[in-house]
Amino acid sequence: MTEKPDFHPDIAAPKIGVLLVNLGTPDDPTPQAVRRYLAEFLSDKRVVELPSLLWKPLLHGIILNTRPRKSARAYAKVWMEEGSPLAVYTKQQMAGLQQRLGDAVRVSYAMRYGRPGIGFRLEEMKAQGCERILLTPLYPQYCGATTATVVDEAGAELADMRWQPTLRVMPPYHDDPAYIDALARSVREGLAGLDFEPEALIASFHGMPRRTLELGDPYHCQCQKTARLVSEALGKPLFTTFQSRFGRAKWLEPATADLLGALPGRDLKKVAIFAPGFSVDCLETLEELAMEGRSQFLDAGGSDFAYIPCLNASDEGMAMLETLVRRELGGWIS
């Protein structure tokens, strides 16, 4: 065997990597940390599609001086001992997937905004020998504001690399039988554990400006299809709604909060709600749905409210992720 000459860099043995990517979350439930996070998130042109000349003064003059304090209070209500729920559950998914895939694959996770960044993780995985990486945005429904920004960021990072890893991207899985089955199981399980029979079941998705639908973003259609397939799998009708409205523009409708406020008046006083578009529980599900949503519903005259958790690192959720990831790794692993 020939010796490696001194000038030759060390090269790790080739490996296959899977990089799970979620949205990101503040490091702490404090106004300062939330401000840092929101400044990065809301400066992304795919998230807020307004001309910079209009948006920058609004963002830096008003939003970043008011929203962080309010949002930090909301984060504090759901913060866990180990950190932000979104980060805690995403790390659990990484560990669960690593266990299921074994040593043949290295599983890591990154956040699109905040830490650990996509660039940091791609460099780290490459240094560990991952010459092939499956980039896995944890968004079942494709949206320019979420899925596409993950790919943009990975591409920007690759642009600076001499020796790029080969990248595959996990496609959206809004209608994948493995995902629909996992959701149906989790909802059935959630409903079976209740001490009341819901008269209405709601699937609440994160909202988007309505204009993005008119411009051709498939997000709305993919949410509708997920809801239809879950409803068929459960054999139950579902209300499909959109939550977390931001700003003054018209957003996708119906709004979750509006429906929760209206159902008791339609004599539907017992409700169960779940959030199929969120891979893990986070501020938007634990605070906005499970806390605020509950109050809105009970204040409007509802009698019983249940929030069914996201798939998180549950057995059914992890089995689904394993199925999707193994399929996309086809030809890379046996």
Q: How far apart are CA 104 and CA 107, in angstroms?
A: 10
| Residue 92 contact partner, candidates ligand L6N33NVT, Fe ion, none, CB within 5 to 8 A by sort of partner | none
User: What is the spatial distance between Cα 334 and Cα 329, in angstroms, rounded to a whole number?
Assistant: 9
Residue among 225, 239, 134, 135 nearest 180 (CA):
225
Q: Which of Fe ion, ligand L6N33NVT, none does residue 71 bind to, with CB < 5 to 8 Å depending on kind?
A: ligand L6N33NVT
Alpha-carbon distance of 302 to 76, in angstroms, equals 27
Least CB distance to ligand L6N33NVT at residue 123 (A): 24
Minimum distance from CB of 219 to Fe ion (Å)?
Answer: 9
Q: Is 221 in the site for Fe ion (CB under 5 A)?
A: yes
Cβ proximity to ligand L6N33NVT, 17 vs 137, nearer residue? 137
Cβ neighbors of 271 (< 8 A, separation 6 or more) are: 198, 199, 200, 201, 202, 260, 263, 297, 302, 304, 305, 306
Residue 135: which of ligand L6N33NVT, Fe ion, none does it interact with, CB under 5 to 8 A by kind? Answer: none
Binding site partner of 332, from Fe ion, ligand L6N33NVT, none, Cβ cut-off 5-8 A by kind: none
Contact 297, 305 (CB under 8 A): yes
Is the CB of 307 or the CB of 329 nearer to ligand L6N33NVT? 307
Neighbour-count burial for 86-117, b at 16+ CB within 10 Å, e otherwise:
bbbbbbbbbebbeebbeeebbbbbbbbbbeeb
Which two structure tokens, joined as six digits, stand for 12? 């790790």
**Beta carbon of residue 220, minimum distance to Fe ion (angstroms, whole number):** 4
Question: In whole angstroms, how close is the CB of 13 to ligand L6N33NVT at the nearest point?
Answer: 36
Region binding Fe ion by CB under 5 A among candidate stretches 57-65, 103-111, 212-220, 306-314: 212-220
Largest CA distance in the chain: 81
Question: Which residue number, 23 or 135, has a Cβ lying nearer to ligand L6N33NVT?
Answer: 23
Shortest Cβ distance from residue 16 to Fe ion (Å)?
Answer: 31
Task: Tell whether omega for the bond before 116 is within 30 degrees of 0, i.e. cis.
Answer: yes
| Residues in binding contact with Fe ion, number by CB under 5 A | 2
Between 96 and 276, CB nearer to ligand L6N33NVT: 276
Q: Is the peptide bond before 51 cis (omega within 30 degrees of 0)?
A: no
Quote the CA–CA distance of 141 and 33 in Å, as a whole number: 28
**220 touches, from ligand L6N33NVT, Fe ion, none (C-beta below 5 to 8 Å by class):** Fe ion
Residues that bind ligand L6N33NVT (CB under 6 A): 23, 25, 38, 47-48, 67, 71, 84, 86, 139, 143, 145-146, 206, 208, 219, 244, 246, 277-278, 282-284
Check binding of 220 to Fe ion (CB under 5 A).
Answer: yes
**Annotated binding residue at 206?**
yes
Partner touching 221 among Fe ion, ligand L6N33NVT, none, CB below 5 to 8 Å by kind:
Fe ion
Residue 182 touches which member of Fe ion, ligand L6N33NVT, none, C-beta under 5-8 Å by kind: none
Structure tokens at 43: 């400066």
Of 231, 236, 239, 286, the C-alpha closest to 258 is 239
| Known binding-site residue numbers for Fe(2+) | 206, 284
What does the binding site for Fe ion look like in residue numbers (CB under 5 A)?
A: 220-221
